[in-house]
Amino acid sequence: MSDIKVKDKDFEILFSKEKIDERIAQLAIQISKDYKGKDPLFVVVLNGAFIFAADLIKQINIPCEIAFIRLSSYHSMKSTGKVTQIFSIQEKLSGRDVIIIEDIIDTGNTMHEVQLEMVEQKPASINVCTFLVKPKSMEREITSKYIGFEIPSQFVVGYGLDYEGYGRNSEALYILKEGNN
């Protein structure tokens, strides 16, 4: 349980399922409180955020809607800085209180692009809820109102996050072992 191999790489455990569950419960309570009476629209960034979003949204106890966008900027283990939007949002954002749900903010380029595009539709508000942030990698100033965990700038997998398509199905979060890149 403490180490896993995904394709050719070795990873060690960073956060257990229990630790993740505990943090998500806290985030859900906070969001439900902050958005009481507001009818928020969650916009889930696929693919990586799918497990985080599912676990979080199940615990949101106020009326809300859920939409999905799919993007990618990562190539294998390095951010390319170029964001490709694979499918765009159909729901109207204008006047809505939007909460973007992301798996991880690394350079911040992806979240920057997403927000730029959303602002054009004039939502009432936009906040970011991200499972993970790598503060030392940030190239853009992104303010995330809701953050699961801050982590070092190493590559992580599990809990929805992949390495070359694999490893998303692990219920814990794993970090690349030293001397492995």
User: Active-site positions?
Assistant: 106
Is the dihedral angle over the CA atoms 51, 57, 58, 64 positive or is it negative?
A: negative
Picked from Mg ion, ligand 5GP, none, the partner binding residue 162 (CB below 5 to 8 A depending on kind) is: ligand 5GP
Site track 117-156 with ligand 5GP (rule: CB under 6 A), x = hit: --------------------------------------xx
Interaction residues for ligand 5GP, span 73-92 (CB under 6 A): 73-74, 79
Residue with Cβ nearer ligand 5GP (32 or 107): 107
Q: Which does 55 bind (CB under 5 to 8 A by kind): Mg ion, ligand 5GP, none?
A: none
- Which residues, including other chains, have CB under 8 Å from residue 1's CB and lie 6 or more apart? 13, 172
Nearer to Mg ion among residue 48 and residue 123 (C-beta): 48
- Does residue 106 belong to the site contacting ligand 5GP (CB under 6 A)? yes
**Residue 93 or residue 157: which is nearer to ligand 5GP going by CB?**
157
Residue number with CB closer to ligand 5GP (19 or 38) = 19
DSSP assignment of the chain, as one string?
Answer: --EEEETTEEEEEEE-HHHHHHHHHHHHHHHHHHTTTS--EEEEEETTTHHHHHHHHTT--S--EEEEEEEEEEETTEEEEEEEEEE---S--TT-EEEEEEEEESSSHHHHHHHHHHHTT--SEEEEEEEEE-GGG--S----SEEEEE--SS-EEBTTB-BTTB-TT-SSEEEEPTT--
Of 100, 161, 172, 173, the one binding ligand 5GP by CB under 6 A: 161
Per CB under 5 A, contacts with Mg ion among 78-107 are 103
Residues that bind ligand 5GP (CB under 6 A): 48, 73-74, 79, 102-110, 155-157, 161-162
Residues that bind Mg ion (CB under 5 A): 48, 103
